[in-house]
Amino acid sequence: MNYSEKVAGELNTLLKKNKDAEKGYQYAAENAQDSQLKAFFSERAQERYDFGHELETEIRDFGENPERGSSLAGDAHRTWMNLKSSLSSNKDEAALEEAVRGEQVAANEYEEVLKNPEIPPTTANLLLKQKNGIVAALNKLKGIKLQT
């Protein structure tokens, strides 16, 4: 596997994760009761959509093809979220907890890719910007107080 394929492979992994997050946030926004949470989830879905397009451009810049669709793990996680929220008495609280967990995982995944010394500086700058957006969203999520 050559350099371009290796870097594009890591970017494709992040791309799939962003598509998973976008779909998860869309679902959460559609089902949230709290208007503040609904708006926040909608904003995050759009942000992850934008991140995905930025990653697709970067992958093409490496001469590779971006992968399409979400991951099987992401589909399974959304199914779990659906089940968990349907069983929960407070669906917004369950969605909020899952969003916090998901953003923590995403920030860690970005951090791992950023540790790769083969990632060129321009790509690292893009990934750092996206990771910082995820961390900002995580911090905001932790500060959301739902109306009970």
Position with higher pLDDT, 118 vs 127: 127
Give me the mean pLDDT over the 44-61 stretch.
97
Both structure tokens of 47: 């942000």
* Region 3-143: CATH code: 1.20.1260.10
Q: Is 108 exposed, middle or buried (0-12, 13-18, 19+ CB in 10 A)?
A: exposed
Give me the mean pLDDT over the 61-66 stretch.
92
Give me the mean pLDDT over the 90-103 stretch.
87
For helices 3-31 and 121-143, angle between their N-to-C axes, nearest 10 degrees = 20
Measured CA to CA, the distance from residue 4 to residue 82 in angstroms comes to 38
Measured CA to CA, the distance from residue 95 to residue 11 in angstroms comes to 27
Both structure tokens of 19: 């598509």
Kindly report the average pLDDT of the chain as a whole number: 86
What does the pLDDT look like over 17-47, one tens digit per residue? 999 999 989 989 998 998 889 999 999 999 9
Residue 83 has pLDDT above 50, yes or no: no
Measured CA to CA, the distance from residue 41 to residue 25 in angstroms comes to 5
Both structure tokens of 95: 């969605």
Residues 6+ apart with CB under 8 A from 6: 118
Residue 80 has pLDDT above 60, yes or no: no
* Lowest mean pLDDT, pick from 4-18, 25-39, 70-84, 89-103: 70-84
